[in-house]
A and B are shown apart, each in its own frame.
Chain A
Amino acid sequence: KAGVTQTPRYLIKTRGQQVTLSCSPISGHRSVSWYQQTPGQGLQFLFEYFSETQRNKGNFPGRFSGRQFSNSRSEMNVSTLELGDSALYLCASSFIRGGSSGANVLTFGAGSRLTVL
C-alpha cells in the first residue's frame, strides 16, 4: 500500500512569507504527527492530530499551526517565516494515537525541505 506522501518535497521562501505543507497518511491511519528536523536540534515534535483534533503540541511558537481534514490528510502552516525555520519537516502517520505505549508504529514520509532566505 502507498506510504506517507508529503508535498512539496522542496521549497524556497523568503523571510516574512508563509508556507503550507501537506501530508497524506497511509490509508486507514487516523493519526498524523509532524516533526521538524534540523542538524542542530534533531527531530523536534511539532504537533499531533487525530480525528481532526489537535491532541498534542510541542514547544513551538504560534506561527506554527496545523489542521487535519476528515479524510485524515493534514496540513501544517508556518507564518512570518524566519531564517531559523529552514528545516526538513517530517510527517508521520499511525493507526491510532502515535508514539505512545502499546501503540502503533510511526511511519514517516520523506519530508518537505524548506529553505528560508
Chain B
Amino acid sequence: GENVEQHPSTLSVQEGDSAVIKCTYSDSASNYFPWYKQELGKGPQLIIDIRSNVGEKKDQRIAVTLNKTAKHFSLHITETQPEDSAVYFCAASGAQKLVFGQGTRLTINP
C-alpha cells in the first residue's frame, strides 16, 4: 500500500523567512496530494492540495510543488507569520483513502 514519508519532523524559522516541508510517496498510482494544518486542540484543516496533472499550485503565501517522476511533493510557505505555527501534514491518495505523513511541527520565532 501507499507509504508517505515527511521531513523534517520539526522546523523552526524566523518570522518573515520561508519554510519548506518535503514528502515522498511510494504508490505511483496516487494522484491527489493535500496538505493539512493542525492547530492545538483542533482537527486538521486543508490548506492547499494538488492533483497529478499539475506541477505547482499557489495560494497567496503558500505553494505546493509536485514531481511525479521522483514521487515527491513539497509545501512552501513564504513570509512566515506567527499564526503559521502549527503541525503540518502531507497526504497522498491511495486505494480510496488518504495516507498521511508523520507531520512537521513548524515554529515561527518572532
Binding site for B on A (CB under 8 A): 4, 33, 35, 42-43, 45, 48, 55-56, 58, 90, 92, 97-103, 105-111
A108 lies within 8 A of B31 (CB):
no
B45: A residues at CB distance < 8 A? 108
B69: interface (CB < 8 Å): no
Q: B22-44 vs A: 1/0 string, CB under 8 Å? A: 00000000111010100001111
- Count residues of B near A (Cβ-Cβ below 8 Å): 26
Could you tell me the distance between the alpha carbons of A107 and B82 in the complex, rounded to whole angstroms? 24
**B95 contacts which of A56, A98, A103, A106 (Cβ < 8 Å)?**
A56
A101 lies within 8 A of B100 (CB):
no
B31: A residues at CB distance < 8 A? 101-102
Binding site for A on B (CB under 8 A): 30-32, 34, 36, 41-46, 49, 51-52, 89, 91, 93, 95-103
B95: A residues at CB distance < 8 A? 56
Q: For the complex formed, measure the closest distance between the CB of A76 and the CB atoms of chain B, giving whole angstroms.
A: 15
B52: A residues at CB distance < 8 A? 101
A109 lies within 8 A of B43 (CB):
yes
Q: For the complex formed, measure the closest distance between the CB of A89 and the CB atoms of chain B, giving whole angstroms.
A: 10
Interface centre among A45, A55, A90, A99 (most CB of B within 10 A): A99
A42: B residues at CB distance < 8 A? 89, 100-103
A103 lies within 8 A of B43 (CB):
no
Could you tell me the distance between the alpha carbons of A110 and B95 in the complex, rounded to whole angstroms? 25
A108 lies within 8 A of B97 (CB):
no
A102 lies within 8 A of B32 (CB):
yes
